[in-house]
Amino acid sequence: MKRPGAATLAALIGGAWIAREAVRHSRRMNLQEKTIIVTGGVRGLGLAISRQLVRHGAKLAICSRNRDQVERAQIELAAAGGDVLAVPCDITKDTDVQEFLDRVHSHFGAVDALINNAGVISVAPMQDNTLVDYQSAMDTHFWAPLKLTLAVLPDMKRHRRGRIVNIASFGGLVSVPHLVPYSASKFALVGLSQGLRSELLHDGVYVTTVCPGLIRTGSPRNVPFKGHRELEYAWFTLGDVTPIISVNPDRLAKKIVDAMVHGDAEVIAPWLFRIPAMANAISPTLTSGLLAMINNLLPGPAGNTESQPGYALQSSSHLPAWAQKSADAAAEKYNEL
């Protein structure tokens, strides 16, 4: 039997791509005048997503705990022509969430899409973490998205149309040293998100799981650090501003919105991060060994469970001046100040 030639293989690949794009097009949702919730949509990646949605003509409901950042984001997005409802809200508090949802329904009506973006992160060796760190991460990354999803699903099912986007993390595919509470909670969110997609497809509701690496938003200034705090701040921020291992927020936001529009199952960015994710799935022993080597290069435990935010560590950290300047510029652009 003849083996298929290069032309045949190219035709098969081309045909598969055309079929894939046809399916994506058939699922396309026009975001014009659609009501979309973005939790944490006032800064960082959330703000980048909100900016994209305003360009698409969506009706936007955003929330965050920080009242000043909420107000600044609303002013910016409204000035760009957005129809925006911005509300101070702690998504880990049921009463806050209910009040927020009530305001969304009275202002816009039924929710067409939910983007579970709000997040917390702490950086420390696991020995310097406490149960509170794990509880906070799970409350924000698992319980809050689950409760919000359950709240908006009845309308989506009734209309047989909806989108849910869960902003998980590469840390939800591969557990990263010194980020164990964060990774554990993001693994939970990935499992929830993938399971929801399978069960909601027949209702016309498409769930997208997003697993990015570090994102260049300047967020380390607001991250709590424990252990050898100045050293932890330095390595984390250096990674955050390095293009090879971090991603541009605007390009990522555009990918996320495109994936939501077309009902895609997953977004992993940067693309190269698919390699360690696949390696971990195929050979977790090898991957954990490599991660253990990385852990040995990071600061050791200090027996110090008191945290300090990044902005309090900038002057005493070992971070190169160029990296700090880059982080500060990103923080200003993405409302992290």
Distance CA 135, CA 270 (A): 29
Are residues 226 and 307 in contact, defined by beta-carbon separation less than 8 angstroms?
Answer: yes
| Cα dihedral 106→156→70→32 (10° resolution) | -90
Q: Is 182 a catalytic residue?
A: yes
Are residues 193 and 117 in contact, defined by beta-carbon separation less than 8 angstroms?
Answer: no
Question: In the β-sheet with 35-39, what is the strand arrangement from edge to edge?
Answer: 83-88, 59-64, 35-39, 113-116, 162-167, 205-212, 266-269
CA angle centred on 143, ends 118 and 153, rounded to 5°: 85
Task: Give the orientation angle of helix 131-138 with respect to helix 180-200, to 10 degrees.
Answer: 30
Which one of the listed residues 182, 206, 233, 334 is annotated catalytic?
182
Q: Exposed, middle or buried by CB within 10 Å (0-12, 13-18, 19+), for 130?
A: middle
Distance CA 170, CA 183 (A): 8
Helix and strand tally (H, E) in the chain?
12, 11
Radius of gyration, CA atoms only, the chain: 21
Q: Catalytic positions, please?
A: 182
